[in-house]
Chains A and B, each alone.
Chain A
Amino acid sequence: MRRVSSTFSRITLQAAPRVARFLFIIFIIGLALAALGGCGLRRGRPDVGGAHQSITLAGSTSVQPFAELLADEFMKSHPGIIVNVQGGGSSAGARAALTGVAQIGMLSRELEGEEKSLHRIVIARDAIAIVVHPSNPIDDLSVAQIRAIFAGEITNWSQVGGPHREIHVVSREEGSGTRGSFDEMIMGSAEVTPGAVVQDSNGAVRETVAGDPSAIGYLSLGLVDKRVKGVRISGVAPTVANVERGAYGIVRPFLFATRGRPGEAAQEFIDFALSRAGQRLLAAEGLVPVARD
């Protein structure tokens, strides 16, 4: 008797963890299945966040830093709402808004094609500055010269009155809002040379030009700082004042795009961006506010 019972207890003791582990695996598989099932159910249901509502913005890396600024200020005055700002690029932003992944898509160019079904809100305007290294003696170029440089027809700074040095063209990747606007407003039917160095953000273009005395690039005026020099275009300097006067021509809209009417929280954020406080914030960062009084 004694022997049997002791064997029995040993078996259960040994078996218990194994059974537990087995049950645990079943449990995990069950959870996974439940999660899979849940996915289908959750899709399309509006955000019900209880005390905290959250809105997501996604899109243009040109708009992103400004949207982050707006979001920080906005969350100070609206503690119940959390604003997430993500990058990805203008086209991704439009797609995110179309598919509902983000409540607000951010674009640094006009809506195109099927994107036109989105609700479009201009939150500011932004100029594109043509930048060179601060040590570069060139500080004025015509649109035709810029086009020829980026098309790879002018390849040496001496051809535009500078030192005898090869020009290193820095461009953005296809699909970028900044690239799209640049192509449209400067290049026209010409093409950016395939030999151009391609960087994937405004910041990377700025870093590249800041580090290379032979480089020329283009980026959002709001992101130009002391490490690069914005060239005058036929005598007109890239400044907010000149953009407001209409003298500086390379200007594009910064858009918020929503699918249909935005939700309550998203609408509040958009209203904040267009409010005097929001616009002043954007203007202080070098953007051109949209006239709205």
Chain B
Amino acid sequence: MEGDPMRYPMRYREAVIEKTLVIVALSAIAVLGLIILFIFKEGSPIMARIGVIRFIAGAKWAPSRGVFGILPMIWGSIWVTLGALIIGVPLGLACAIFLAEMAPARASAILKPAVELLAGIPSVVYGFIGLVVLVPFIRRWFGGPGFSVLAAAIVLGIMILPTIISISFDAFKAVPVAYRDGMLALGATRWQAIRMVILPAARPGIVAAVILGMGRAVGETMAVIMVAGNATKIPSSILAPVRTLTSNIALEMGYAAGEHREALFATGIVLFVVIALLNLTARLFATGGRVAR
């Protein structure tokens, strides 16, 4: 009733604001598009020249000699990420189950923000702690130079905890209360209820949490450079130094010119494809979950 006399100006304003927002939203996509375009424009010529297979499967990286093979870095990323998941996933899931199903309200009021705070710590801080605490520890007690797959995996395992905890926590919370109550009413213990009903029902969410954590681990750079040792060799053990795809770009970008620079952009392409695939998978699982519910 009140809006009646001003219907026209309201509509007008709304339309303008709506269009402005559309433009802003599109510009975000445009930025993404430009980045993709730029990476591919800079990186694809050398991939074409060397050959995609030789670039990806080449085991030797010696830019000053014009040899560009990123297989050691691909393996590096795989090992480090796998290690981070082995450490981060059980810890993160256990923590999320506790928070969602068992923790008294007071404990979860403290723990939840604490976990979120963990996500806010800059990666260079994780890296620094890894460098001064973890690397000497590994060198002293396990041998090797200390800079290793193990050090990077532990640091990353801790760094992906917040991602895994908060997403799987939401997945647990989204399981209808009636499921759990029904289970308990049937005489199941709390652990049986969690294991037989809640975990399976939350599975898509858990998978999404793991994949997003994986994405974080693959993409992390600074902390990894500081503790991984950055050797351009496929690691022979978890105590050997290793270089990941992201470290390769960050380490040499400042120096690189010509072909070397192109090769780093090509590394970026590989990284981009890997992360895009991971996100796509996560999205598939996440929507799959919603449909099932």
Query: A53 vs B118: C-alpha distance in the bound complex, in angstroms?
Result: 43
Query: Is A260 at the interface (CB under 8 A from chain B)?
Result: no
Output the residue of B13, B60, B256 with the most chain A CB within 10 A: B256
Bitwise interface map of A from 179 to 196 toward B, beta carbon under 8 Å scored 1, else 0: 010010000000101111
Contact A91 B20 (CB under 8 A): no
Output the residue of B60, B64, B136, B260 with the most chain A CB within 10 A: B64
Q: How far is the CB of A183 from chain B (nearest CB, A)?
A: 7
Query: Is B219 at the interface (CB under 8 A from chain A)?
Result: no
Query: Is A18 at the interface (CB under 8 A from chain B)?
Result: yes
Contact A196 B260 (CB under 8 A): no
Contact A175 B17 (CB under 8 A): no
Q: How far is the CB of B143 from chain A (nearest CB, A)?
A: 8
User: In the complex, what residues of B have CB within 8 A of residue A15's CB?
Assistant: 6, 9
Contact B256 A194 (CB under 8 A): no
Contact A212 B146 (CB under 8 A): yes
Contact B13 A175 (CB under 8 A): no
User: In the complex, what residues of B have CB within 8 A of residue A87's CB?
Assistant: 254
Contact A191:B62 (CB < 8 A) given known A168-B145, A173-B230, A197-B229? yes
Tell me what chain A mostly uses at the interface: helix, strand, loop, or mixed: mixed
Q: How far is the CB of B230 from chain A (nearest CB, A)?
A: 4
Query: Is A56 at the interface (CB under 8 A from chain B)?
Result: no
Query: Is B147 at the interface (CB under 8 A from chain A)?
Result: yes
Query: Is A103 at the interface (CB under 8 A from chain B)?
Result: no
Contact B17 A22 (CB under 8 A): yes
User: In the complex, what residues of B have CB within 8 A of residue A88's CB?
Assistant: 254
Q: How far is the CB of A277 from chain B (nearest CB, A)?
A: 31
Q: How far is the CB of B129 from chain A (nearest CB, A)?
A: 15
Query: Is A279 at the interface (CB under 8 A from chain B)?
Result: no
Query: Is A39 at the interface (CB under 8 A from chain B)?
Result: no
Contact B233 A194 (CB under 8 A): yes
User: In the complex, what residues of B have CB within 8 A of residue A271's CB?
Assistant: none
Query: Is A54 at the interface (CB under 8 A from chain B)?
Result: no
Query: Is A155 at the interface (CB under 8 A from chain B)?
Result: no
Interface residues of B (CB under 8 A from A): 2, 5-6, 9, 13, 16-17, 20, 60-65, 72, 135-136, 139, 143-147, 225, 229-233, 240-241, 243, 251-252, 254-257, 260
Q: What are 12 pairs between A and B in contact, CB < 8 Å? A: A15-B6, A89-B254, A91-B254, A168-B145, A175-B64, A175-B260, A193-B233, A194-B233, A197-B229, A197-B230, A208-B147, A215-B145
Given contacts A87-B254, A196-B241, A214-B145, 13 further A-B contacts (CB under 8 A): A91-B256, A95-B257, A166-B143, A174-B255, A175-B256, A180-B64, A197-B229, A198-B232, A200-B230, A211-B135, A211-B136, A211-B139, A215-B145
